[in-house]
Amino acid sequence: MHGFLSDFDRLAAHVPAGDALEVGCGEGELSIRLARKGRRVKGCDIAGEVVDEARRRAELAGVDISFRVEGIQSLTPADACPLVVCCEVLEHLDDPEAGLDTLAELASPWLLTSVPREPIWRVMNMARGKYLADWGNTPGHLNHWSRKGFLKFLGRRFDIVQVASPLPWTMALCRSR
């Protein structure tokens, strides 16, 4: 995870100061990192208990972040921010194309996103003895991308500015067209 966080910080540093929205904020780890760098951050996630945990962690970290329970499909252009972060979300969506379209509407102009890199993700799960009946597929992962496939997917709506490959993820900093 250290490589993931280091690459996240490195890519985020290329984006000029400004507000940020984290879509699929989980427990708030990335939102807190951005807030500590001086950004005004909003975060959303579909799971209420996870948002509660994000609020608790932000308070403990001494940062002011506005978290709410909301999914990507409910976001509107009014939620647009100079930097949109969407890490470890797209692989869970029933319709990742629609999710990417929403991110393109929200990113004004920057998107920082990541997904598990396949087939490495599954192989590593199997090596750990996890999810063997599903050939290493993590429950809830509906979409699977290689590094090349994910960049092609993003290229439909974004210009790819920088790419990082912390094992076992693909991470990209993109600019909306």
pLDDT score recorded for residue 166? 96
**Residues 111, 176: contact at Cβ < 8 Å?**
yes
Q: How many CB atoms lie within 10 A of CB 16?
A: 7
Assign 3-class secondary structure to 42-107.
EEEECCHHHHHHHHHHHHHHCCCEEEEECCHHHCCHHHCEEEEEEECCHHHCCCHHHHHHHHHHHE
- What residue spans define the domains of the chain? 2-176
pLDDT digits 0-9 by tens, 99-122: 999 999 999 999 999 999 999 999
The tokens for 111 are 């998107």
- CA dist., res. 39 & res. 58, Å (int): 13
pLDDT of residue 38: 96
> H or E element: which one contains 177?
none
Contact between 43 and 67 under an 8 Å Cβ cutoff? The reply is yes
Q: How far apart are CA 18 and CA 16, in angstroms?
A: 6
Cα 41 to Cα 47, 58, 146: the distances in Å are 18, 11, 30
CATH topology of domain 2-176: Rossmann fold (3.40.50)
pLDDT of residue 1: 67
pTM of the model: 0.96
Block means of pLDDT (10 residues each) for the chain, 177 residues, are: 92 97 99 98 98 99 98 97 98 98 98 97 92 93 98 99 97 97
| Residue-level pLDDT at 2 | 75
Closest Cα partner for 45 from 20, 27, 18?
27
